[in-house]
Amino acid sequence: MSYTRRNFIKNTALVTLGAGISLDAIASMRRYVSPNDKIQIGLIGANGMGFANLKSFLKNSEVECVAIADIDDSVYGKRSTELEGSGFKKPTFYKDYRKMLENKDIDVVIVGTPDHWHCLQMVHAVEAGKDVYLEKPIGNSIYEANVMTKAANYHKKVVQVGQWQRSQPHFVDAMNYLQSGKLGRVRTTKTWAYLDWMATLPVKPDGPVPDGVDYNMWLGPALKRPFNPNRFHFHFRWFWDYAGGLMTDWGVHLIDFIMFGTKSDVPKSVLAMGGKMAYPTDAMVTPDTMHAIYDFGDFTMQWEHTIGLGVGFYGRPQGISFIGENGTLVLSRAGWEIIPEKDRGLEKISFERGPESGLDIHTVNFLDCVKNRTPEKLAAPIEVGRKAAVAAHMGNVSLRTGERVYWDKEKNRFTESTANRFIKPKYHNGWVLPKY
């Protein structure tokens, strides 16, 4: 990574304010910027992380949100009211994001929709000449992740993936320590996510589509099903139709750093097991408990997740560990530490997370690359997102087939025919899977 903590912090005065800052506070700190220097943003999907991303962008005075595309009138109503109430201009509303992409004044698009929409919306955005800030994971399948990478490169657009830990200073510091070689040879690693804040998802009956919701547009390329509140908004992530469960939700953040720290590519094989072991009769389809062992050739990685439990490895609910000959580096959003092996001469180190906001630094990095047309300086370019997504999807494919799966890098597919059927999704409802 080519930038340092000093570069992070000098780029913005708002990096220490974090996600909890109000729109009023953000508006009060903005300065005048000439209209000629404005970066005009359109947001697709304003309900959750999409709006959190927009708030981060608005901490930069040159950014102006000119449009929001969302399938839910109530979401747009809430967000536009919040923006106007804090003194921001009311963004134009689009129910169909494709109409928004026709707006020539929009420079940047934020994609904050459910995973099954990421491929189409990112590809359509770069085809329309827009730079893109894309929520992770970049696609809901291996094929989509590959297509999206090809599209971004073909159209020469700046695409940053929302794996913002790449910009969090203490994560960068930990990677610098790892690259120093002090741990010695790393032969095994761990990644984990224990979520005690998420519990059972009670079964609910299908019901009417809420007023103001374009449900057909929400489904998009996914299989047509009756409306069910469990499959809508936040909880979409627990259904294979729209996402990959915790493996792709948290996994891409954490597995990314294993691959980053070890400078590795797609794993050679994965063996996964798990299922609905905590809540076998609830509405979730993706596993609430899962283990996966990855073989990268010269080291292994263990992924583990649980829903309903919060005490993970080393007492941390989520994290990453690199287990070396001289000691172990443990890294999480709370900080990092070095646990030395006995009599190996390694110093015990413990760092807590600093006050800087990784998301805010990440959006500043993206804006700098947009303004200077320097995609090579992105903290999390599309290729980073592709590698993490492919690895995470490989774990899910192993779980769903019940087999250890092997990756043929030359042919870009598994050696098992049962696994290959999960590579490329089938699009429905008239939507067409992009080809590049």
Instruction: Please check whether residues 302 and 176 belong to one and the same domain.
Output: yes
Are 23 and 102 in a shared domain? yes
Is the confidence at residue 4, as pLDDT, over 50?
A: no
> 118 near 148, Cβ under 8 Å?
yes
Whether the predicted pLDDT of 383 surpasses 80: yes
Q: 317-331: per-residue pLDDT in tens?
A: 999 999 999 999 999
Dist CA 200 CA 283 (whole Å):
8
Please tell me whether residues 177 and 127 are part of one structural domain: no
Question: Residue 218 domain-assigned?
Answer: yes
Q: Which domain holds residue 277?
A: 171-353+386-420
User: Above pLDDT 70, what percent of the chain?
Assistant: 96
Whether residue 133 is contained in a domain is answered as: yes
Question: For residue 349, what pLDDT is reported?
Answer: 94
pLDDT at 332: 97
Q: Is 343 found in the same domain as 369?
A: no
**What is the token pair recorded at 12?**
């913005």
| 208 plus 339 within the same structural domain | yes
Mean pLDDT of the chain: 94
Asked if the model's pLDDT at residue 203 lies above 70, the reply is yes
In a domain, 178, yes or no: yes
Residue 8 scores a pLDDT above 70: no
Residue 430 lies in a domain: no
The proportion of the chain whose per-residue pLDDT surpasses 90, expressed as a percent, equals 93
Mean local confidence (pLDDT), 41-58 = 96
Residue 88, in any domain of the structure: yes
Q: Has residue 397 got a pLDDT over 60? A: yes
Give the Cα separation of 190 and 293 in Å (integer).
9
Mark whether 149 and 178 lie in a shared domain. Answer: no
Task: Supply the pLDDT for residue 134.
Answer: 98
Q: How confident is the model at residue 65 (pLDDT cuts 50, 70, 90)?
A: very high
Burial 48-83 (b: 16+ CB within 10 A, else e): bbbbebbbbbbbbeebbbbbbbbbbeebbeebbebb
Per-residue pLDDT, 43:
98
**Judgement on whether residues 40 and 98 belong to the same structural domain of the protein:** yes
Residues 327 and 339 in one domain: yes
Does the pLDDT of residue 15 top 80, yes or no? no
The more confident residue out of 274 and 1 is 274
Within a 10 A sphere around the Cβ of 166, how many other Cβ atoms? 26
CATH number of the domain at 410, please: 3.30.360.10
Please write the tens of the pLDDT for every residue from 186-196.
999 999 999 99
Running DSSP on this structure, what letter comes out for residue 317?
S
The pLDDT assigned to 354 comes to 87
Q: Is 285 found in the same domain as 302?
A: yes
Q: How many domains would you assign to the chain? A: 2
Angle, helix 169-179 to helix 358-372, in steps of 10 degrees = 80
Residue 182 maps to a domain:
yes
